[in-house]
Chain A
Amino acid sequence: DTGVSQDPRHKITKRGQNVTFRCDPISEHNRLYWYRQTLGQGPEFLTYFQNEAQLEKSRLLSDRFSAERPKGSFSTLEIQRTEQGDSAMYLCASSPRPTSGPYNEQFFGPGTRLTVL
C-alpha cells in the first residue's frame, strides 16, 4: 500500500491522559498536514510541515497539542491532558512538491478516531 498510513486507527482514552498518533506520508511527498474532523463538519486544518519544518499552525492547535516531523518523513501528533472536546477524527494528508502552479493536491490517510471518555 503506497498511500498515507496512520496509526492507530482507533484510540479510546480517559480524560487527562496523553495520546500520540503517527502518520506516514506517501514516500515522495515532502509536505504533510494534520486536520481534525468532527461529525457533520469538514476537516479543520491543524498544522503543516514542509520536510521537517513546521510552517503553519492553526489557532485551533492549543498548547496541549504538539506535532513533530523530525526527519522529514513520518510525523507524530501528541495531545496532552486530553479533554472530551478532543474527541474527533484526526486526519493526516500529504502532497508532493509542486512542479508548477498553485498545485496543492492533498491525499488523506484513513484517520485516527479518538474517543475521550
Chain B
Amino acid sequence: QKEVEQNSGPLSVPEGAIASLNCTYSDRGSQSFFWYRQYSGKSPELIMFIYSNGDKEDGRFTAQLNKASQYVSLLIRDSQPSDSATYLCAAGLRGFQKLVFGTGTRLLVSP
C-alpha cells in the first residue's frame, strides 16, 4: 500500500464547475498535508496546506482534512481551463521533514 494514494484520473469537469480531488494516506503519524499543482513539464507549485481537521479556504480553493478517515481533499470552485494540471497531494510525517507525495490526479477543465 502506498503511503499517499490518489486517483490518477483524468478528472474531467466543465468550466465553472466544482472539481473535487481526493487523497488518502496510510501513516497516522502524518500531521501536515499539502496540495501542489504541476503543469506538464514544470515543477510543483504549492497551492494550499492544512494541519487541522476541517476545512480551510483560500480563494477558489478549499482543502479538507479528516484525520479519523485519513482523508484529504481539495475543492476547486468555478474551475477554469487554466486549472487543467496534475494535482499532487503530499503528507508530512511527525518528526521528519520530508514530504511523501502521491502520484497525482490529472484534472481537465473543458471550456
Contact = CB atoms under 8 A, between A and B. Distances in A.
Chains A and B come from one and the same complex: yes
Given A101-B51, A102-B32, A110-B42, A42 B104 contact: yes
A52 B98 CA distance: 17
Interface residues of A, number: 26
Sort chain B's interface into a size bin.
20 to 34
B43 A109 contact: yes
Interface stretch (B10-18, B57-65, B72-80, B86-94): B86-94
Contacts of A31: 97
A89 B40 CA distance: 12
A106 B34 CA distance: 9
Given A56-B97, A56-B98, A41 B46 contact: no
A110 B42 CA distance: 7
Nearest to B90: A42
Contacts, number: 62
A110 B43 contact: yes
Of B34, B46, B92, B97, the most chain A CB neighbours within 10 A belong to B97
B94 A48 contact: no
Nearest to B44: A108
A107 interface: yes
Contacts of A44: 101
Interface of B: 4, 8, 31-32, 34, 36, 42-46, 49, 51, 88, 90, 92, 94, 96-104
Interface of A: 31, 33, 40-45, 48, 50, 55-56, 58, 89, 91, 101-111
Would you list the 7 A-B pairs with minimal beta carbon distance, nearest first? Answer: A42-B101, A45-B98, A108-B43, A111-B43, A48-B97, A102-B32, A102-B31
